[in-house]
């Protein structure tokens, strides 16, 4: 049941991202509001980079997870739960993006295709964990070796991270729309 919820969250994020991009020009999606901020396309590429970095480590840990012996709730762990809370939008804390996760591509079509594929792989990985005690196996962060968390926590963290950047994309597009209205009047 909990994993179904995480799958649903990932699918909902993909759909919301698609709806945000629908009818938008490549220019809108590639525009940075400030020199130091990201565009919608860069947010999508960052999410792709993140999923592609985490999914292999999570999939390996899922393969080693024992079967659930009782019908119990999966747990994220205390520190992971606190981290997830700080990821949720609207966020108050900003985090420095580590080099492996910095957006690289800015072409709308290739970024969107890669994003969709990463979401498919993430969904398959989540679904492969059904019936397993994924809160009993730990995964090391593929981008920051000092962090280790259980697999269920990692999946919840990825989902919260995606919501964070989806919210960021919404803010970018709202600001662009406001700017266009100002210029039209």
> CA nearest 31: which of 146, 165, 179?
179
Inter-residue contact 44 to 108 (CB < 8 Å): no
- What is the reported pLDDT for 72? 94
- What is the reported pLDDT for 147? 86
- The verdict on residue 24 lying in a domain is no
- The verdict on residue 158 lying in a domain is yes
- The verdict on residue 29 lying in a domain is no
DSSP the chain: -HHHHHHHHHHHHHHHHHHHHTT--HHHHH--SSTTSPPHHHHHHHHHHHHHHHHHHHHHHHHHPPBPSS-------HHHHHHHHHHSSSPS---PPPGGGS-----HHHHHHHHHHHHHHHHHHHHTTTTB-TTSSEEE-SS-TT-EEEHHHHHHHHHHHHHHHHHHHHHHHHHHHHHHHHHH-
For the chain, list residues with pLDDT below 50.
Answer: none
- The verdict on residue 33 lying in a domain is no
Domain count, the chain: 1
- The verdict on residue 50 lying in a domain is yes
Cα separation, 70 vs 68, whole angstroms? 6
Q: Which pTM value belongs to this model?
A: 0.94
- What is the reported pLDDT for 82? 92
Between vectors from CA 36 to CA 34 and to CA 41, what angle results, nearest 5°?
80
- The verdict on residue 21 lying in a domain is no
- What is the reported pLDDT for 24? 95
Task: Give the structural domain span for 63.
Answer: 2-16+38-184
pLDDT tens for each residue of 4-42: 999 999 999 999 999 999 999 999 999 999 988 999 999
- The verdict on residue 163 lying in a domain is yes
- The verdict on residue 117 lying in a domain is yes
Inter-residue contact 9 to 16 (CB < 8 Å): no
CA dihedral 152, 165, 54, 78 (to 10 degrees): -30
Inter-residue contact 136 to 150 (CB < 8 Å): yes
């Amino acid at each position: 049941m909990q994993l179904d919820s995480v799958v649903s969250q990932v699918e909902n994020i993909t759909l919301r991202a698609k709806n945000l991009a629908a009818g938008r020009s490549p220019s809108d999606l590639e525009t940075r509001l400030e020199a130091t901020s990201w565009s919608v396309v860069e947010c999508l590429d960052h999410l792709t980079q993140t999923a592609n970095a985490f999914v292999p480590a999570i999939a390996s840990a899922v393969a080693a997870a024992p079967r659930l012996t009782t019908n119990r709730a999966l747990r994220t762990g205390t520190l992971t739960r606190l981290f997830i809370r700080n990821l949720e939008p609207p966020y108050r804390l900003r985090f420095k993006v580590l080099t492996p996760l910095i957006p690289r591509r800015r072409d709308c079509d290739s970024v969107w295709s890669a994003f969709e594929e990463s979401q498919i792989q993430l969904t398959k990985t989540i679904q492969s964990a059904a019936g397993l005690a994924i809160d009993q196996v730990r995964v090391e962060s593929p981008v920051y070796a000092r962090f280790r968390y259980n697999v269920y926590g990692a999946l919840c963290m990825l989902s919260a991270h995606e919501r964070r950047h989806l919210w960021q994309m919404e803010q970018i597009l709202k600001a662009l729309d406001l700017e266009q209205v100002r210029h039209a009047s």
